[in-house]
Chains A and B, each alone.
Chain A
Amino acid sequence: MTVLAAVKRANAKAPPESSVALRVAVLVAVEAATLATLAQGVGGVGVRVAATVGIAVGFAYSHWARFREGYALKAALAVGVLLAFANFLSAVTGLSAGAINEVQIPLAELFLWVQFLHSIDVPARRDLLFSLVSSLVLMAVAGVLSTSTALGGYLAVWALAAVASLVLAYRSEVSALPALGRSGTPGAVTMRPRSGALRPVVAAAALVAVVATVVFLVVPAAGAGKAVAFPARLPHRVGVPGVGGLANPSLGGADPQSPDGRTSSRGTGASSFGYFGFSNQLDTSARGRPDDTLVLKVKASRPDFWRGQTFDTWDGRTWTQSDQRVRAITGESPLQIVAPPDEQGVGAANGADFVQTVYVEAGGPNLVFAAYAPAQLHIADSAVFEMTDGTIRTGAYLDQGAVYTVVSRRPAVTEDLLRAAEHDASGTPASIAQRYTQLPASTPARVRELAATLAAGSTSRYDVVRAYEAWMRDNTSYTLDIPKLPAGDDAVDRYLFVDRQGFCEQIASALVVMLRSQGIPARLAVGYAPGQRNPFTGMFEVRASDAHSWAEVWFPGIGWQPFDPTAQVPLAGDPYSSAAGTGLARYLRAHLPSVPAGVVRAGAVAVGVLVPLLTLGWLVLLALRRARERRRRPWPDRMLERLERAGTARGRSRRHWESARRYADVLRVSVFPDERLRAVADVIEAATYGPPGGMAPDDHAMAERLLADAEAAHPVR
């Protein structure tokens, strides 16, 4: 077949599809995908009207005009597609190569226009299936754009409609064939399904759901390591006062940029989700309690600390950043982040890329939150500022809707690697050792003594860290409910020896102070714990209450490594389940409505005891009722039914017009070749049509025995 012939064949007019059910199912799928895409903020009024009302009208018109040739319409639609494509080209013209991500929205609009235009000309089943596939593409577009679980509703509707469409299309295809004909008219009658398509649709949808769930649990999670373009968006660029300064409007008067000490730099008060650690200093004497406001969504392939900044100077109660110098990093996105020379661990050079896209859900500090150590920043701004500890501040406020992507790089560190690192100070740069082993003279001696005692015998820094963590785990506990630190008390001393309770800032401070007392460089890092992974969006949902602080310890030849006894964060080299469904059960438990324990127990009792009992009782009642009904029926009916069962079991059911004798004759010459069947049928018919009481009970017994013998002689195989 030549290419031209193949093209002609592929474009040959297909027979019109007259199944309204199929058309409606496809329309529902298309509309679900369309609405899902529109829900991501795609398109103006024109696109929205065309994609909602227009598609429905288009489908209705297609059905009405399905028998028409419609060459003029096809030409008009082709022009429409060209116009939509021209509109797309004009929207993307001028975008730089680095802004490929900006193409997503115009591309989604183009898809919507094409979907609308196509809906006007879908006369055949083939066209409807094409629409279904294109709705899948549209749903994928929505999936790429969505960062919300709300897409699940659209997806569920789309999936159900898509399965229904496939089932209905198949049945329509089979029904369009010549049917097995009735007598005398082979192939001439139109086949009508004896039953509706609801059951196969429901069964297929249920099966797809089950299999999809299983696949979801094992399929690799979405990664972001090989992307050609990373999302970056800054909805409204408002510059932070002061070059490279830290601003945190969520702290209200505690905002480092607060002009009057009462309201934030944005003129607002403190927010319920503000974390006091995102400031120039961190007071460990009291901890504010951020609520559960969703502040960030982080798209990443594995959990990590979303690090904001570090503190280096400790005075016994408060951490401060001693060095506020910043270095401006300018240029086009992506901005290359080069850590200060002393901050660079040799492992960073050969570390694997770890991509995180951060979606800001609540306006907070202008800190770039990312796993250590950021190497590349995709942000819709031309400049950011790097602190001397390698942390990044933006030049603009990061309001809700801001998106940036960070490519971090750190070596795949394992316990063995950390243990192998040099224990003595010889491998530590002097500037690191000097800056990050600072302790105030007021540090209580018992803190130093405890640190020395616990470190005794440890041959590596890693073992020292683990020894401290183990002691704190065994001897202290985590709580947010502790009284404010009395004036003059050392926060670490009080935590270790008095309260034996503390929150993360105190626990991490204790670890840093003890390490420093042994000459091991360490610092306090603040940021967010990984948050809970949403298995559907593949994003870590970070809430204000995930604000966290932990210790970073310098390992010669490796660099800074985070340690925290309260957060379950694996080392970079630790294995991590990469299945898409990881954390699904935990996520569902956390987000499904909580049920009181009593109700759960009652439910368990119901499921475990009552349901089986009730089911058993129902089955017994059913059996009794059937037995009663059977007994009430005349003997010939019961016997004919038994004959039917015997025949059906062997492959030939009784036609409704067949008498007992005729049926027995058919069985005798086909699937049940036993002459006794005729005698059985004779008795049945005699009992049916004979005078009442004309049959002796012996005749009944004989017929039953004959049938039993015949069945035994010709067992079902």
Chain B
Amino acid sequence: MITVADGGARSPGALPRATAAWPRPASVSRPTVALAAVALALFGIARTTGSGWLIVLLTMVAATVALAFVLPAFGLARTTVGATAPRDGTVGRELEVRVALAGGSRAVKLRAVGFDGGWVGAIVPAEGLLAITPARRGVVDVLVIDVRSAAPLGLVWWTRRYSLALPAALEVGPHPTEADVPLPTGDGLEGRDGRRLVAAASDSVRSTRDYLPGDPIKLVHWAATARFGEVMVKELESVASPAVAVAVELDGPDHLVERAASRAAGVANAALRLGLPLVMLTAEARGPRSGPVGSPREVGRRLARAVAGPLPAAPRSAVVISVRARGEREGREDRERREGHGR
């Protein structure tokens, strides 16, 4: 997952071509302003006093300022940046991007654009981890890194923006909010929360038998033991849990959309924690998507790609939990839609 950006001079093999913009001036430091002001004053004084030394001094200052203006641009033009990024991220959680810099400016600072996190410094060549915190949910195909340099004189800062096409996109999922698994009404599930659904779906006692050495103590059936005066243990029969389908509708204002995504992540993760089979119903840029989800990472990836749009039909046997940007509504509508989908 290494990609290199160097202004298009070299392409990183078969990877998508990485591009870098031309360096552009970023800021002028206060000493530069002071130097320019002093230089102007020197010129004025030299012209009125005839002091040749002031002209010599002026040329030195002018040369310094001129070089301070152009050298960082030359340095950045020769600076190459490579980076590797993890596949997954979560809004608000720091992640590490490995960045390598080579050539050009010796001392630079850099930061990833679109992420929370300040500038970090580097003496080139350098390779290390850049801590960034995603601020938004989404799929990052191109990692944009700003490299800033004022080397070697430190008076004028130039910036060069490197766009690094990631071989595998960084999928930033929403920050999950704490949530339980709310169950829809109907189907005899009224009033139950996710834990009761699990309890309902867990192993049931088929019969009892005498205790045999090696039986775990948790299988002891205390009521039967009391009744028969001998230690009795349970014989269990497994019952399949019903699948939970989290339908994520992200149609609405941005802040509600992100809140809904976070809520969906919380619900999905809660379902996973309870061991419920989970299916997520989302809309992606390529169309509706339905599929089982087995881990919080997959939840994040699915929600990273989720956009507003029509949702797919839920599996017939699934309990649908709808999370909507415009407010969560459960119950009849969901059931009706599920039934409708079933037809």
Q: Interface on A for B, CB 8 Å cutoff?
A: 129, 132-133, 136-137, 139-140, 142-144, 146, 151-152, 155, 159, 162-163, 166-167, 169-171, 173-187, 191-195, 200-201, 203-204, 207-209, 211-216, 219-228, 299-301, 355, 357, 534-539, 580, 650-653, 666, 669-673, 714, 716-717
| Among A215, A227, A299, A301: residue with most chain B CB under 10 A | A215
Measured between beta carbons, the chain B residues less than 8 angstroms from A152 are: 56
Pick the interface stretch among B121-129, B199-207, B213-221: B121-129
- CB B50 to nearest CB in A, in angstroms, measures 3
Query: Which B residue sits closest to A230, measured CB to CB?
Result: B49
B256 at the interface (CB under 8 A from A): no
The 8 Å CB contact of B152, one of A167, A186, A221, A222, is: A167
How far, in whole Å, are A673 and B71 apart by their CA atoms in the complex?
Answer: 35
B197 at the interface (CB under 8 A from A): no
B51 at the interface (CB under 8 A from A): yes
- CB B61 to nearest CB in A, in angstroms, measures 7
The 8 Å CB contact of A180, one of B12, B49, B59, B120, is: B120
How far, in whole Å, are A334 and B334 apart by their CA atoms in the complex?
Answer: 101
Q: Is the CB of A191 within 8 A of B122?
A: yes
B: number of interface residues (CB 8 Å): 73
The 8 Å CB contact of A208, one of B56, B63, B107, B118, is: B63
- CB A191 to nearest CB in B, in angstroms, measures 5
Measured between beta carbons, the chain A residues less than 8 angstroms from B151 are: 170, 200
The 8 Å CB contact of B57, one of A155, A174, A355, A673, is: A155
Pick the interface stretch among B39-47, B85-93, B185-193: B39-47
Known A-B contacts A177-B109, A204-B153; A136 and B52 likewise in contact (beta carbons under 8 Å): no
Contact with A along B101-122 (1 / 0, CB 8 A): 0100011111000000011111
Q: Is the CB of A652 within 8 A of B82?
A: yes
- CB A405 to nearest CB in B, in angstroms, measures 10
Pick the interface stretch among B2-10, B176-184, B230-238: B2-10
The 8 Å CB contact of B64, one of A163, A169, A180, is: A163
Q: Is the CB of A211 within 8 A of B52?
A: no
Measured between beta carbons, the chain A residues less than 8 angstroms from B67 are: 204, 207-208, 211
Query: Which A residue sits closest to B124, measured CB to CB?
Result: A194
How far, in whole Å, are A666 and B49 apart by their CA atoms in the complex?
Answer: 67
Query: Which A residue sits closest to B47, measured CB to CB?
Result: A223
Q: Is the CB of A300 within 8 A of B109?
A: no
Measured between beta carbons, the chain A residues less than 8 angstroms from B109 are: 174, 177
Tell me the number of A-to-B contacts counted with CB atoms below 8 Å.
257
| Among B55, B68, B151, B155: residue with most chain A CB under 10 A | B55
Q: Is the CB of A216 within 8 A of B55?
A: yes
How far, in whole Å, are A168 and B50 apart by their CA atoms in the complex?
Answer: 34
The 8 Å CB contact of B155, one of A166, A200, A221, is: A166
Measured between beta carbons, the chain A residues less than 8 angstroms from B57 are: 136, 139-140, 143, 155
Q: Is the CB of B152 within 8 A of A179?
A: no
Measured between beta carbons, the chain A residues less than 8 angstroms from B47 are: 220, 222-226
How far, in whole Å, are A465 and B28 apart by their CA atoms in the complex?
Answer: 60
The 8 Å CB contact of A177, one of B49, B71, B121, is: B121
Q: Is the CB of B120 within 8 A of A178?
A: yes
How far, in whole Å, are A167 and B47 apart by their CA atoms in the complex?
Answer: 31
Measured between beta carbons, the chain B residues less than 8 angstroms from A144 are: 45, 49, 51, 53-54
Known A-B contacts A580-B59, A652-B2, A670-B2; A177 and B50 likewise in contact (beta carbons under 8 Å): no
Q: Is the CB of A137 within 8 A of B13?
A: no
Measured between beta carbons, the chain A residues less than 8 angstroms from B35 are: 133, 136
Which 4 pairs show the lowest CB-CB distances between chains A and B? A538-B52, A170-B154, A180-B128, A224-B50
How far, in whole Å, are A118 and B321 apart by their CA atoms in the complex?
Answer: 70
Contact with A along B77-97 (1 / 0, CB 8 A): 000101000000000001010
Q: Is the CB of B63 within 8 A of A215?
A: yes
What are 11 A-B pairs at a CB distance below 8 A?
A133-B35, A139-B57, A155-B60, A177-B109, A192-B123, A211-B67, A226-B47, A539-B50, A653-B102, A669-B1, A717-B10
How far, in whole Å, are A227 and B48 apart by their CA atoms in the complex?
Answer: 4
Q: Is the CB of A215 within 8 A of B48?
A: no
Q: Is the CB of B128 within 8 A of A173?
A: no
How far, in whole Å, are A211 and B69 apart by their CA atoms in the complex?
Answer: 13
The 8 Å CB contact of B154, one of A169, A208, A224, is: A169
B243 at the interface (CB under 8 A from A): no
Known A-B contacts A194-B123, A226-B47; A212 and B131 likewise in contact (beta carbons under 8 Å): no
